[in-house]
Amino acid sequence: MNDLYNYSNPFSGVNAVQLDIDSILDYWCNPFMYDLYSEIKEADIYSDVMNIVFMGGRSTGKSMFLRYWSYPVQFKNAKNNNQKLSKSIADKNGIGFYFRIDGPILRSFQGKGISEETWSSIFIHYFELIIGREYFEAVNCLYEEGEIQDNEMNEIFLPKILALIGINNQISLQELIDDFDRRIREIDLYRGNVAFFKEPFKPEDRGFQSQMLSFGIPEIIISSLEVFHGKNIILLLDEFENFVNYQQTVINTLLRFSKPNIKFRLGMRLEGFRTYQMMADEDFIKEGREYRKVVFEEVINKNRGYHQFLIEICKKRLESIPLLKSKGFTDIQKILSDKEDLEQEAIEIARGQPDKIINFFNKKLSKVEISKIRSDNPLMEALNCLWLLRGVSIDTVQKSMNDYLNNVKSPDALKYSRDYVDKYKLSLLILTCSIYRKNKQYYSFNTFSFLSSGIVGHFIELCRRSFAIAGWGDNETLLNDGIISKEHQSKAARDFSLAEKQQISRIETYGGLIAKFVDNMGNLFRDFHLDIKIRYPETNQFAINIDSISDLQLKEAMKSAIKWSVIQRKPGMQRTAPSENLQDTYTLNRIFSPIFQISYRTRGGKSIRLSEKSLIMFMHDDKVDSSKYLNEEKKGLENKPKKPGDSLDLFSV
């Protein structure tokens, strides 16, 4: 019995930046095995001669990915496999150095009455020192392991390094590392006190210019140390979006002038570049020339590889809890159930009030007529009402349903099947929930995968909350049967959805505008979902050409929404109507679906077209009048076919 209360949530608190090296290796799931990124292969990490930018929202696994390729993790992996460290470098064809400078430090290099030009010099000096120290630590590690010989170190490598740095006396590598510590401390002290004294920075020793150490040291490493001959030096720089504008220009310049054997792998949010400018004002970097891009966040996850990847990640976490491992509860698909059962959900909602759907659609039907469209399945009953509303005769409705249910291969049955199974089932359930004033439930592995919007961290958080709620609500079922009820899952999804929505206003830039936009857009989608005629089922995307927005504030707000994965761009461009131009199409992050009670699926079809004028309303008005948009669509439909089963060409997925 004690076991029930003595286990920790397997999905709690695993932030890649915080993990120790052993945990990185324990939790690592190689995304290349799941075919997640078509743009890149594993060998490119160390060998691609182009800089690579890894873009994705928060919790998409960028930090885990970048840290994994860094030398401390690879060295530990080699040791675990009784391999020499130099063999690891040889096998990988290079060595990786991971850097993350936290936001508060980066932001401290500005303001306080000091000019940006001065801060820029201080930051460059700091950045070069931080990178230089990391190089030295890696070399020292190999030296201590006996994989760099004394003569190589003392007669070749160190003299060149000391000359580069401008140190005249002979000191050891460890002493050099200590010296770099001192120089870094000097900057920290200055950052701490400048607000009180507002004096210029005067380092005890020389200041370093850009590239001096970041490129200068690797060149010496590669040329002087045998283990690095012909190998690549990879700088894995994380959270680049936190770098302030001028700091990005410093790194952009390094991207432009990176050497053949020294390349960057940057991790950042989508739209994480604040600027493409370089330190020389007139110059800028460009995708395809200075870097190539790999996107970690993919709103459409039709790829089964993503599902398998999630299962594997969860398995490692579930196995980390001895109790769950011993009971064999390590398959998240079984714990959450594979897919939701829409029909069962509808039956439970309608239980005890069977007439509500028919009453809602049409109160004037006779008892005989009602009996013809009755079904034990509320969703079919709702579809029958929808067909009636669209002008189909009651006898045709009855025949179509019966043919479908009796597996008769008639054209009516085919149309019925197409509408029920392929097109409207989820829409009918959402409408039914609205009629009964109940919340749609969001549960199952498949649903959580969709809700996660390609962001692994979202899936993990949905699981964490499900486990936490089940832990309180029904621990015994969880630990005896390895199942979490759909009610508990659904509560987890709603809570997380609400929490994410509340966080929007906290976004550093334009949070208020984005929060209003999401509110208005979510409610508009909701109104489309409640359309009694379900003219545009599961409408949950919009089209806009962000680059053509002339109002800078609106444009930047939209970019910030992308950066924080509040909205996600669908691959490829679409038309909102046959006569319209191709435009980029966006969805709200699916995690907001539970709070707005809308579809979590990614389908083609209807997009709300947003002009700049309407965007102003969506970002500034407390409530946008949805009738305008619904009526616009209604007009557009007047010339469209109205027969049941006729496709409205909405779902050219």
List of residues contacting another protein (CB under 8 A):
8-9, 12-15, 17-18, 20, 58, 100, 102-105, 107-108, 111-113, 133, 177, 181, 185, 188-189, 191-193, 195-196, 198, 464, 468, 498-499, 502-503, 505-512
Comparing CB distances to another protein, the nearer of 137 and 312 is 137
CA-based end-to-end distance of the chain:
50
Question: In DSSP terms, which residues pair with 96 in a beta bridge?
Answer: 234
Cβ proximity to another protein, 104 vs 578, nearer residue: 104
Q: Match 């030296």 to its residue by tokens.
A: 143
CA distance 381 to 221: 74
Could you tell me how far CA 447 lies from the centroid of its own chain?
A: 16
CB of 115 vs another protein, minimal distance in Å: 15
Nearest by Cα to 58 from 456, 605, 331? 456
Considering beta carbons, is residue 105 or 279 the nearer one to another protein?
A: 105
Closest distance to another protein from the beta carbon of 79 (Å): 18
Using DSSP, how many helices (H) and how many strands (E) does the chain show?
A: 31, 9
Residue partners of 387: CB distance under 8 A and separation at least 6? 396, 397, 400, 419, 644
> Which residue, 306 or 592, has its beta carbon nearer to another protein?
592
Q: Which residue has the tokens 């998409």?
A: 60
d(CA 285, CA 275) in angstroms, rounded, equals: 9
- Asked whether the beta carbons of 606 and 539 are under 8 A apart, the reply is yes
* Cα–Cα distance for residue pair 604/100, rounded to 1 Å: 39
Residue 195: CB minimum distance to another protein, A: 4
Nearer to another protein, 103 or 636 (CB): 103
Nearer to another protein, 505 or 627 (CB): 505
DSSP lists the bridge partners of residue 295 as 55
- CB of 296 vs another protein, minimal distance in Å: 17
**Hey, what are 263's tokens?**
């390349």
Q: What is the largest CA-CA distance in the chain?
A: 104
Cβ proximity to another protein, 113 vs 578, nearer residue: 113
Q: Would you call 564 helix, strand, or coil by DSSP?
A: coil
Q: For the CB of residue 13, give the shortest distance to another protein in the complex, in Å.
A: 3
Quote the least distance from Cβ 497 to another protein, whole Å. 13
Closest separation in Å from C-beta 205 to another protein: 18
The minimum distance between CB 485 and another protein, in angstroms, equals 20
Q: Which is nearer to another protein, 188 or 287 (CB)?
A: 188
Nearer to another protein, 87 or 506 (CB): 506
Q: What is the CA radius of gyration of the chain?
A: 29
Supply the minimum distance, in Å, between the C-beta of residue 650 and another protein: 37
Q: How far is the CB of 173 from another protein (least distance, A)?
A: 14
Name which of 268, 600, 270 is nearest 459 in CA terms: 600
Between 109 and 309, name the residue whose CB sits nearer to another protein. 109
In DSSP notation, 110-158 reads S-TT--HHHHHHHHHHHHHHHHHHHHHHHHHHHHHTT-S-HHIIIIIIH
How far is 183 from 203, CA to CA, in rounded Å? Answer: 8
Handedness of CA 163, 166, 171, 175 (dihedral sign): negative
Per-residue tokens: 338: 């594979």
